[in-house]
Structure 1
Amino acid sequence: MSVFAKATAKRSARAAWTGLAIAGVSTLLLSACASGGTPSTETEEPGDDTAGDALPIEAGDRDLTLKVGTILPQSGTLAFLGPPEEAGVGLGAQEVNDADSGLSMEVVYRDSGDTTTDIATVSVTDLLSQDVSAIIGAASSGVSFTVIDQITSAGVVQFSPANTSPDFTEYEDAGLYFRTAPSDLLQGEVLGTQIADDGHSTLGLLVLNDPYGTGLAAATKASFEAAGGEVVAEELFNTGDSNFDAQLSAISASNPDAVAVITFDEAKVVVPALVGSGYPGDQLYFVDGNLSDYSADFAPGLIAGSKGTLPGPKLEDDFRDRLLGVDPDLADFSYGPESYDATVLIALAAYAANSTEGADIAKYLRQVSGGSGDGEKVTTFEDGAALLAEGKQIDFDGASGPITLDEHGDPTEATIGVYEYGDDNKYTRIN
């Protein structure tokens, strides 16, 4: 059994410890968020010699054709995330192919839909029939849970750029599931603390009843209450619901100082209804699932002063321009960096393994991310492939940050940005 396989076998037994470590470290760093910095998390198993875990890299030329599929939202309640995510994948594949390294990448794009449809299952079935080595997606945690067994049982890597449910950390996935988005244990802690730091003592929660929504709500509630606040309303709804009167009435009746709207595209319905009923628009808090440009959806100034959280560092102008080179019509860039990094990491792992078999790619994904191997820092596929061709170890730091995957396939370093809406109903980063 390889060292990687041994680490995977310990996955479930140590998952609870890792989750607590992430939450604990983020607590120590939250002051950076309040003072204008960006919180991050990093965990390492006590006594873990990551350099000693390194698998060997075969020096020499490569002749590999890597086929990757995507199940990203072209329709459904997260459709606004589809364009930046697909642009991130497209940019990554373009740069892999431009490197002329001996590895070429082909991407087959398919829709994930949302949990009200069976589109993801149909898409995965199609992609598996085309012998893809890896599938990037889904964006929705709920959607990923509907297909993760189908993908991993086929020996194919699943790599999500946006799944944030804590439940993936201990999921039995044969070591084939990875993500570049951090667990909502961190985002919830940042959001709850931000609400408390803004002077609010009571909080209402409107929550999508799926693994993403309930997981993020639980982390937000725990953080807010730890800061001395009280959650006075917690209303759930299901994907596909079109009437939210009962939930909004219950929240209004509790008269909270602030309301966290933990939804996807449903925010376009519930936010105008809540503000229209008299609730102040500047006391709302958004999350990554609905932090979007609402300039064409809401009346000017409707949510001016409201805030929201989104995983990821501040988007560099150069990377934004590169994404726009793939899709000039992009209006939102959420999870574009994470999608790019997932694509490049898959390609680097295939190059390191000198194989396009899903299981072989999975064995090297943690290593090329810097989670083991103590490799040389690189920020592009081209530079990484050049070192790998010399038989050297690498540590890829991407557009979304250092990443550094752990034995659970989770990133151990992450940043959560805090954003604020202006009179134009567009959001800008404030930390």
Structure 2
Amino acid sequence: MKSKILAIAGGLLAATALASATAKAADVKIGLIGGVSGPIAAMAPAMIDAAQLAVQQVNEQGGILGGDKLVGVVGDSACNPQGGTDAATKAVNIEGVVGIVGPHCSGAVLAAAGSVTIPAGITVITPSGTSPEITGLKDNDTVFRTVPSDDYQGRALARTLKGMGYDKVAVSYINNDYGTGLANAFKSEFETQGGEIAGYAAHEDGKASYRSDLAELAKGGADTLVIFDYGDGTGLTILRQALENGFFEKFVGGDGMKSEAPIKELGAENLSTFVASSPVGEKSKSLDMFNEAFKASGGDPSAIFVTTSYDAAFLMALAIEKAGGDKAGVSAALREVSNGEGEPIMPGEWKKAKELIAAGTAIDYKGAAGDENFDANGDVPGTYALFKVAGDGFETITEMK
């Protein structure tokens, strides 16, 4: 009996030792929550690939913390509030992530943050959630973004269009957090600049026909329709039906419309009067370094939100390293690694950053999309440009200010 007890005890000790070794070697997980399905499904893969590039660089240069492997756990928000909440719940409660990059869409960000991540104390960095509503979240300083608020995009787009001679426009916007915030900012600034909004209406997602909505908007006499929606979803339907029925001659989209889907579906030859705004990386050595690395990995550096997605993931890794893996310290650490002070860290310079952090030396991340210095609300400044269709893609017309 005694020998059996000793054997059992020995087995328990061995199991405990094995469990401890396993725990020590456990992966460090971050959530990568994107609109894998839904209205930005064509954009999401490149964004996730850019975030995974940052994860790959971390692992190739010694791993995170004590040499652990960083793992990006992909979740699908479907670009809606319920999907965002579900994906965040799984990431936090089942996968045990230390932080989250995403969600991609504003409504998903707001819902996931309010229901899941803020109560759990998990830091979120969205690379593409642009609604002004995110700025005002009571988030205990846990919600950040590497893309500017739509309050800036909407106003910059209005100023740019007015300067280009667009004096009278109609506006159709999707009835969600993204569309409403962008449309309101645009309308306010366009009218301030002396422009006329000849029609202004929200539309619901997923209808088969918007012809009556378009006919009503066209009654105001504008030759230009501004569409704040997604080019992979309802925005494409509206653009197609407006073209087919000759309701408008010119078309303008926000960043959600800068998608390859309209080009593939409608043909570049039918989109000669279509332009769209989009955030762009500031010209810098950091942007060049990212572009080279992403292209080498098979990615398209010109794809929308890839710079902001990469920056969000690399920043998350830096913050986790700085916080020693303590999720409660990630938020404060995030501000410390990108605040304009310290030794500059460029995209891909993980080994250098890790050594400096270990030595107690201050670092300052210089991102592909810009310096990424967060203000009190977790927002960043940024650069936008206006694009036109060229072949099977887009080319820049002018920077927006």
TM-score, normalised via structure 1 length: 0.79
Conservation of the 8 A alpha-carbon contact between 2:43 and 2:259 = no
Conservation of the 8 A alpha-carbon contact between 2:215 and 2:247 = no
**1:29 is matched with which residue?**
none
One-letter code aligned to 2:362: Q
Match of 2:322 among 312, 327, 352: 352
One-letter code aligned to 2:36: Q
Change in CA separation of 1:393 and 1:318 when aligned onto 2, cut-off 3 Å = closer
- Measured on the aligned residues, the alpha-carbon RMSD in Å equals 2.2
| C-alpha distance in 1 between matches for 2:26 and 2:397 | 44
SS of alignment partner, residue 156 of structure 2 = helix
**2:245 is matched with which residue?**
277
| C-alpha distance in 2 between matches for 1:409 and 1:142 | 17
| C-alpha distance in 1 between matches for 2:187 and 2:392 | 26
**1:334 is matched with which residue?**
304
Conservation of the 8 A alpha-carbon contact between 1:303 and 1:425 = no
- Residues 140-166 of structure 1, C-alpha deviations (whole Å, 9 max, x = no match): 101112211211211211111001111
Conservation of the 8 A alpha-carbon contact between 1:314 and 1:429 = no
Conservation of the 8 A alpha-carbon contact between 2:223 and 2:248 = no
Conservation of the 8 A alpha-carbon contact between 2:169 and 2:222 = yes
Tell me, yes or no, if structure 1 residue 195 matches structure 2 residue 161: yes
| C-alpha distance in 2 between matches for 1:314 and 1:426 | 20
Q: How many residue pairs are counted as aligned between the two chains?
A: 362
| C-alpha distance in 2 between matches for 1:236 and 1:295 | 24
- Report how far residue 267 of structure 1 moved: 2.1
Conservation of the 8 A alpha-carbon contact between 1:420 and 1:427 = yes
| C-alpha distance in 2 between matches for 1:133 and 1:326 | 26
**1:27 is matched with which residue?**
none
Conservation of the 8 A alpha-carbon contact between 1:261 and 1:284 = yes
Match of 1:322 among 278, 293, 296: 293
One-letter code aligned to 1:122: D
**2:54 is matched with which residue?**
92
Match of 1:124 among 85, 88, 91: 88
Moved more, 398-407 or 271-280: 271-280
One-letter code aligned to 2:109: S
**1:429 is matched with which residue?**
396
Conservation of the 8 A alpha-carbon contact between 2:222 and 2:248 = no
**1:378 is matched with which residue?**
345
Match of 1:79 among 23, 29, 41: 41
- Report how far residue 381 of structure 1 moved: 2.7
- Report how far residue 306 of structure 1 moved: 2.3
Match of 2:269 among 298, 301, 316: 301
| C-alpha distance in 2 between matches for 1:64 and 1:364 | 22
Query: What percent identity do the matched residue pairs reach?
Result: 26
Conservation of the 8 A alpha-carbon contact between 1:81 and 1:332 = no
One-letter code aligned to 1:304: S
**Which has the greater radius of gyration?**
2
Conservation of the 8 A alpha-carbon contact between 1:140 and 1:163 = yes
Tell me, yes or no, if structure 1 residue 361 matches structure 2 residue 325: no
**1:286 is matched with which residue?**
253
**1:176 is matched with which residue?**
142
Gaps of 5+ in 1: 1-62
Change in CA separation of 1:313 and 1:305 when aligned onto 2, cut-off 3 Å = farther
Moved more, 185-194 or 233-242: 233-242
Change in CA separation of 1:320 and 1:388 when aligned onto 2, cut-off 3 Å = same
- Report how far residue 292 of structure 1 moved: 1.2
- The within-5 A match list for 1:17-416 is 65-100=27-62, 102-103=64-65, 104-115=69-80, 118-128=82-92, 129-149=94-114, 150-264=116-230, 265-281=233-249, 283-293=250-260, 294-313=262-281, 319-327=290-298, 333-354=303-324, 356-370=325-339, 374-379=341-346, 380-411=349-380, 413-416=381-384
Q: Which has the higher contact order (CA 8 A, sep 6+)?
A: 1
- Report how far residue 426 of structure 1 moved: 2.7
SS of alignment partner, residue 386 of structure 2 = strand
- Report how far residue 409 of structure 1 moved: 1.1
Conservation of the 8 A alpha-carbon contact between 1:73 and 1:113 = yes
Conservation of the 8 A alpha-carbon contact between 2:118 and 2:142 = yes
